[in-house]
Structure 1
């Protein structure tokens, strides 16, 4: 009888232990089904523990991510910030205010703001992709990064449009190239920058990983949010703030080259400017924008898409070099800018030379206008 009672008690104890284990198993399954993407990586979340698989852990800890990538940002910052500060000083304090100057100043300001966000990214990657400054600062840094990058692209397109009007349509330049028009263009650019910043400012950007013990900034987000929110956002940025400006730049520079060739004058200077601008778009900006769309659009790569993560991050770093090239575009476009930049670098304050430069630049620009005017008249008579 005692043996039977002990057997029943043992059976009840085992049954209770099985029943008590089964409820805890369900939440674990529910937790493990929660999906979060590290841009191209699929995070594994089991209840309160979040990590990556073994291959992805190697990717996020690889030297290219925590060493070479911040070195690229550091190089862009070291070259871009001094050159843009010099360009800004020359444009603001040493150049006569003109509609084209206003556009160049806004382009330089956008480049400077983008470059000022890079030290935070440099420290983030050197620290093993670990963000320690909080959610608000991460949102601000990434908003500055993307907003000013696309603001710079829009400014480049407007500078090309301004140059196109001045050389190809000189009769309409007096009305189209006014101070009021340049102010409208400036307002449109900064409204576009604000629009590009808002989704990043209003959404969570930092996520905590338990293995490795890091807090990511702009590297992880819920999968549903990626497909329903950030995919349309970055697709709109690609179309409106990259593809459309790129088409405008190609059209304007091709029209300028065609006009100069028809005039029968030297066009080597215009070719150099065109090559520099196309270099910015094709080498610096095109790869990052294409990979950005692929990163957000495709969620079915083998291995959860980690193969695209490193190329995307490297192309994003290379895209910041467009801010380094922009001052050299000014250098080739404007004779006056070259002379004023040399004066600032050499600490020269010779008013005679500056007057001579302004006179020569004004005379050369007036001569160019007269040539373009004659070209327009001759072409009309031919028609």
Structure 2
């Protein structure tokens, strides 16, 4: 089965090379093959988990949080075929500007959603373990639904820059690339636009880094510190 899939990938890469007139490195074919395998395995396993959590388990805070965590993985998995195709065409983007924006925004939103849901699960475990009375009174599926909605809105907001700044560029040699244009201008080569784009790029990177990584790390560290301190006093 794997051999058949690999042969198909080679045939597709040959067609892509003939259509775009760019040689496709063997490393790109291998990466595309691994991405295709990840799509198959990820779609089956994540889809099975989603089905079990949705239809075979009771609706609780745990099942809701884990359902949406796996849903973020499942959404990201569905993006991989487009990336694999791009590798087979030697970074040539053939899906248009609209798909360039939507796919990258969706992939970014899925990434941030998975980070936020992992943090939410950790916070939920903390509350359930160290604040059982409060959890019994307030920890309900309705409460979890509000948290989930806030996470998806936050993740979507962090993925929105790709809808604005992601563009396709034609190098006039038959290759179209999907890349960031932070200046949001058609004058890609203009020095003023490049300077403006670098500033916007830095601002976006810092904001995404602070919200997507440092804030979550600080939250988890605070929870671990408080839990360890409480356990020390109990001893």
Per the alignment, residue 113 of structure 1 pairs with 75
Question: 5+ unaligned residues in a row in structure 1: which ranges?
Answer: 1-59, 264-377
Query: Does the alignment pair 1:249 with 2:220?
Result: yes
- Partner Cα separation in structure 2 for residue 122 and residue 109 of structure 1: 21
TM-score by length of 2: 0.75
Question: 5+ unaligned residues in a row in structure 2: which ranges?
Answer: 1-22, 183-187, 189-193
Select the residue among 225, 230, 234 that pairs with 2:205: 234
- Partner Cα separation in structure 1 for residue 161 and residue 181 of structure 2: 15
Query: Does the alignment pair 1:188 with 2:150?
Result: yes
Per the alignment, residue 202 of structure 1 pairs with 164
Per the alignment, residue 218 of structure 1 pairs with 179
After superposition, where does 1:46-85 map in structure 2 within 5 Å?
62-64=25-27, 66-85=28-47
- Partner Cα separation in structure 1 for residue 53 and residue 108 of structure 2: 24
> Which string of whole-angstrom CA distances, capped at 9 and with x for unpartnered residues, describes residues 77-136 of structure 1?
233222211111111111111122211111111111111111111101111111111100
Query: Does the alignment pair 1:100 with 2:71?
Result: no
Tell me by how many angstroms 1:198 deviates: 1.7
> Which string of whole-angstrom CA distances, capped at 9 and with x for unpartnered residues, describes residues 24-55 of structure 1?
xxxxxxxxxxxxxxxxxxxxxxxxxxxxxxxx
CA RMSD of aligned residues (A): 2.9
Select the residue among 118, 128, 140 that pairs with 2:90: 128
Distance 1:225 1:146, change over 3 A: farther
TM-score by length of 1: 0.48
Per the alignment, residue 3 of structure 2 pairs with none
- Partner Cα separation in structure 2 for residue 254 and residue 67 of structure 1: 46
Per the alignment, residue 149 of structure 1 pairs with 111
Distance 1:192 1:214, change over 3 A: same
- Partner Cα separation in structure 2 for residue 73 and residue 95 of structure 1: 31
Runs of 4+ in 1 over 6 A off after TM superposition: none
Check conservation: 2:101, 2:163, Cα contact below 8 A. Answer: yes
